[in-house]
């Protein structure tokens, strides 16, 4: 078993609705994390190219405004694969680091006009090893993102250990978590938009429940990071500086914070982890092992990927 490795959480600000410049920033961060010795770096939810916070501000009756923003969002979304993913893969290979990237993904298998909130998994060899589409967008997010399928509730063996991902409030879904635990996950990437103290408590609970390491990465975003051309900026309270302060963190299997939370600034968090700590944590409680009770409970995921 791989034992001691360094992992990273990239709490960065995207170049809002600008795919090209955001990817360039992501590649620079991948390079930086690799130089610092990290074997895995996790980016925020929807990092390419920015969280659509207007879904919480603009009512659905404002169709013209929403259409204009949606067109911009789709134009700056990612098809998998494409030139954008090629650049990310090249950066990962050059840095010798595994990458979990949050992005808006176009449904390029059909119309190319609908979007998913997705995670892209890239190996340290520069290969795409998988993707995960968020199962259910929350509240106003349903006006933007489609629902993902259960076939991506799985883990991936990498040079950094066995990794998987759940996006934001998917981490609240007990059955989704159980699917991830059953796949042998050692490190759970949990990109999010949630910056609340309650979220940090959830991350600590998930780490203890699953007996795994959790990397929660959130986007740091200020009012000034959104160009003035976007009228929805005027809907925020006057004098507001931060739209999201981040609060990214890295959590051990015993629920202890190893790094962060990082608040109200950009930065890359690092933590040295020992995967044997997972075995120690599961001696007393292994949720899909000796605590699973298959004689009492039955669990399955429909159309689960291999």
Cβ-based neighbour number of residue 270 at 10 Å: 17
128-133 β-sheet, strand order: 128-133, 115-122, 98-106, 40-42, 4-11, 267-274
Instruction: Name the percent of the chain in helix, strand, coil, to the closest 5.
Output: 30, 25, 40
pLDDT at 302: 85
Cβ–Cβ under 8 Å, residues 208 and 256:
no
- Give me the domains of the chain, ranges plus CATH numbers: 4-282 (3.60.110.10)
Residues designated catalytic: 45, 134, 168
Tokens of 131: 């993707």
pLDDT at 161: 96
Nearest one of 8, 7, 6, 13 to 246, comparing CA atoms:
13
Query: For the whole prediction, is pTM greater than 0.85?
Result: yes
Q: Which residues on neighbouring strands pair with residue 159, listed in sequence order?
A: none
pLDDT at 17: 97
Cβ–Cβ under 8 Å, residues 250 and 260:
yes
pLDDT at 303: 75
Taking only the tens of pLDDT, the chain with its 306 residues reads 567 999 999 999 999 999 999 999 999 999 999 999 999 999 999 999 999 999 999 999 999 999 999 999 999 999 999 999 999 999 999 999 999 999 999 999 999 999 999 999 999 999 999 999 999 999 999 999 999 998 999 999 999 999 999 999 999 999 999 999 999 999 999 999 999 999 999 999 999 999 999 999 999 999 999 999 999 999 999 999 999 999 999 999 999 999 999 999 999 999 999 999 999 999 999 999 999 999 999 999 987 765
């Amino acid at each position: 078993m791989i034992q001691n490795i360094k992992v990273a959480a990239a709490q960065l600000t995207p170049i809002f609705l600008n795919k090209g410049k955001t990817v360039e920033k992501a590649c620079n961060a991948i390079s930086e994390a690799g130089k610092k010795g990290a074997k895995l770096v996790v980016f925020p939810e929807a990092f390419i190219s920015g969280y659509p916070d207007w879904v919480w501000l603009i009512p659905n009756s404002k169709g013209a405004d929403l259409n204009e923003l949606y067109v911009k969002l789709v134009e700056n979304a990612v098809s998998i694969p494409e030139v954008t993913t090629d650049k990310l893969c090249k950066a990962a290979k050059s840095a010798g680091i595994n990458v979990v990237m949050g992005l808006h993904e176009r449904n390029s298998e059909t119309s190319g006009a609908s979007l998913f909130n997705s995670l892209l998994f890239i190996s340290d060899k520069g290969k795409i090893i998988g993707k995960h589409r968020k199962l259910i967008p929350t509240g106003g997010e349903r006006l933007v993102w489609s629902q993902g399928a259960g076939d991506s509730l799985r883990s991936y063996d990498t040079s950094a250990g066995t990794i998987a991902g759940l996006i934001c409030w998917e981490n609240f879904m007990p059955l989704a978590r159980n699917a991830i635990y059953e796949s042998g996950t050692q490190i759970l990437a949990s990109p999010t938009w949630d910056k609340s103290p309650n979220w940090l408590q959830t991350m600590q609970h998930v780490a203890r429940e699953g007996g795994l390491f959790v990397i929660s990465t959130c986007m740091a975003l200020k009012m000034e990071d959104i160009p003035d051309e976007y009228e929805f900026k005027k809907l925020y309270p006057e004098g507001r500086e931060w739209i999201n302060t981040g609060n990214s963190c890295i959590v051990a299997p015993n629920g202890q914070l190893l790094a962060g939370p990082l608040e109200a600034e950009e930065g890359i968090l690092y933590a040295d982890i020992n995967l044997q700590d997972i075995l120690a944590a599961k001696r007393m409680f292994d949720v899909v092992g000796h605590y699973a009770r298959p004689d009492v409970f039955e669990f399955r995921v429909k159309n689960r990927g291999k």
